[in-house]
Structure 1
Amino acid sequence: MNAASELPEALQSVQFCEDILIVDSGSTDDTPTVARQHGARVLHKDWLGFGPQKRWAVEQARHDWVLCLDADERVSPDLEQSIRQAFQAQCIALENDPLLAGFEFPRSNFFLGKYLRHGEGYPDYSRRLFHRMRAQWSLDEVHEKVEARLPEAGFQRINGDLLHHSAESLQTYLNKQNRYTSIQARHLVERRQIPGWGKVVLSPLTRFIKFYLIRRGFLDGLPGLVHIAIGCFNSFVKYAKAIEISKSEQADKATTPRGGDLS
């Protein structure tokens, strides 16, 4: 929604595809017009949530093999070449092997003026190219992912980066993370996965050690440090919000009169 400024680069990067489809959920800018100018079909669908929306979009595709991108993502030239080579070399297997669900490749985030190549943001293997009869988007409202329909099916890795080039400001990024942690906290409560103090304290710490030290996030300089620090804080906030929601619901139950009580 409202991606007119980002779409041209994204659409230009997928011109090698036979069919380009944009699903719009109610943009108020020139998104549909820009999409059509770049040869894309445009369909409207009221917002269902990230996972359900993408699953609906895949169902509208004209071919079984689909490549899914967000408006702020671009297929790098190296990734395009790898995709072309994979289809040229494995055309028979692609159509006849039910255990080949699709392909996954690295995703590189552009953050504070730099593509992150280490730490939490990389390689961040993403399953975006898949056969829709063998794989599908999960129904998660946030942090949706592509899952194989058969437990034994798999995804083959190919080279080349999917470039995530968000134009949002740091403030916008933080606001989005705040929304995401609220959704995640609510899901934890619904699943009765209420964290203890150990989870609240240790999760951010272990996350920092894993991504900044072991995964060498420090090699990305200050942008890498900021990105990982925000991720650690998100982990802390997610669990803190879950505790708050749980305690609030418990308090509401305690103060709500039981039905049928006699005075």
Structure 2
Amino acid sequence: MGNGTTVQEFILEGFPAVQHLGEVLFSVHLLAYLASITGSAVIVTITCVSTRLQTPMYFFLSIFSFFECCFISTVIPKLLVIFLLGRQTISFPACFIQAFVFVFLGASGFLLIAVMSLDRYVAVCKPLHYTTIMSLKTCFLLVTACIVTGFTLITALVVKVSQLSFCGPRVIPHFFCDLGPLIHLSCSDIRSIEMLAFGLALFILFTSLIITIIAYSNIVVTIVHLPSAKEHQRAFSTCSSHLIILSLMYGSCVFIYVKPKQASRLDSNREAALVNTVVTRC
């Protein structure tokens, strides 16, 4: 067909089953959004101000917190407008910009999680070489690599999606513009785009997950060999909350994106996306 797009705007369906609870849901999500933004801003500010916290671990944490702040700000403000005012339309360019920023920040964030896991591995398992390995230059290169890799991969995918034709349905069964629902609104042949999106999601999520698992497995082995029971308890309590959040993030994203064909699962993807964008960020 070529690019025969006639759609000028999309309609975000949101959560039609609870549409009558708009004001209540607006208040709940606004509080969650403000809590997440405040927490991220406090972490970044304290890390920049305090000279004692200017270490590789807190450097990565501040970058990750900044990513989280941008990530949640990509989605939640529009969701708040839907809940409060019922304005569910979004223009064609704005929809693609939101989809790009959301997926780019998400992909870069997962790659950064892998880097943070490696940082903790070096700190716990190779403490004598930590300052040499994790120099300031190395930290900047690792963060830059995460951003460049995420930007390159996601730009290629979004450009491909933007070249599809959109000439029919314009209701997105989601509360924001995500690439999966967008692809399935196209009246073009989407098989190659589906496989490309599946391959990129598989690469980003499982590469990050495997690195994280290997790093934490070595950390656990090292902790087990610590002589003091108090050191065991302190180390495991520090890791447990982090691992719970990671399991929610990886679980929801694997459920959403690592499926070759997603058309029959868009409704359940919406709930999983809410967990990924709101619950894990608070």
On whether the aligned pair clears a TM of 0.5, the verdict is no
Q: TM-score, normalised by structure 2?
A: 0.26
Q: TM-score, normalised by structure 1?
A: 0.27
Larger strand share, 1 or 2: 1
